[in-house]
Structure 1
Amino acid sequence: MNKLQPSSIPKYYTDGGGFRSRENISIFQNAARAYGIPDLQLFQTVDLYEKRNISQVTDCIYALSRQ
């Protein structure tokens, strides 16, 4: 996100395990939303964290590439 919109994610976590990973995903989702990605094209945290719905994650990334 910071490549698309500088400083859109000012801080993220590189340690801390599962909780921090989920928090990083949430930070990304908020930045994508602020960038203009509609909620319907965003994925749920669990989709990525638990690898449940990778197609929705991919759709979100494609939506970012089209903005």
Structure 2
Amino acid sequence: MKMAYQGPVYGLSRECQIKSKKKFQLDQALQALDWVREVTNEKLEPPNLERGFEDHMDFADSLKDGIALCKLINILMPGAVPKVNEGKMPFKQMENIEMFLKGCVKYGLKPHDLFQVNDLYERKNLYMVVSCLFTLGGLVS
């Protein structure tokens, strides 16, 4: 499923977008994804398997539905997400991400450690997603 085309970005918005992409580090994203995979036993693969993980889009696509994130927080704190939506509807996937974030707060993360739903779902600030997962992992250990 593709998001609506948002058109080109100019000016300050463009500078912010470039800065955000520079903060994203694929090696850290892969470490975070490996940790999620290890804890949940979920098969988290990019949509295009023969290509492998090449950039931030593949990282986002592997977590975008929020299912693995909900399973992760439910393993760490059983019952944090009472119902994980398995559907492919965008609003259900975004609801999963929101429930994961609420579970993270219950687990002990501070609001400034979290990302926004659109950071992951619309691939806006993926470095914040990685940072959140690292913070959660640090709290676990």
Structure 1-normalised TM-score? 0.93
2:86 matched to 1:21? no
The answer for unaligned runs of 5 or more in structure 2 is 1-72
Distance, in Å, in 2 between the alignment partners of 1:37 and 1:22 is 20
Q: Which residue of the partner structure matches residue 7 of structure 1? A: 79
Distance, in Å, in 2 between the alignment partners of 1:8 and 1:66 is 19
Secondary structure at the counterpart of residue 3 of structure 1 = helix
Q: Which of 112, 117, 129 is the aligned partner of 1:57?
A: 129
State which drifts further: 5-14 or 56-65.
Answer: 5-14
Q: Which residue of the partner structure matches residue 38 of structure 1? A: 110
> Rg: which structure is higher?
2
Runs of 4+ in structure 1 deviating by more than 3 angstroms, as ranges, are none
The answer for unaligned runs of 5 or more in structure 1 is none
Structure 2-normalised TM-score? 0.46
Distance, in Å, in 2 between the alignment partners of 1:12 and 1:33 is 17
- 1:6 deviation in Å? 1.3
- Alignment size in residue pairs: 67
Secondary structure at the counterpart of residue 75 of structure 2 = coil
Q: CA RMSD in A?
A: 0.9
Q: Which residue of the partner structure matches residue 120 of structure 2? A: 48
Secondary structure at the counterpart of residue 7 of structure 1 = coil
Q: Report Cα offsets for 1:11-57 as digits up to 9, x if no partner.
A: 11011411101111110010001111001010001001001111000
**What percent of counterpart residues are identical?**
34
Amino acid at match of 1:36: G
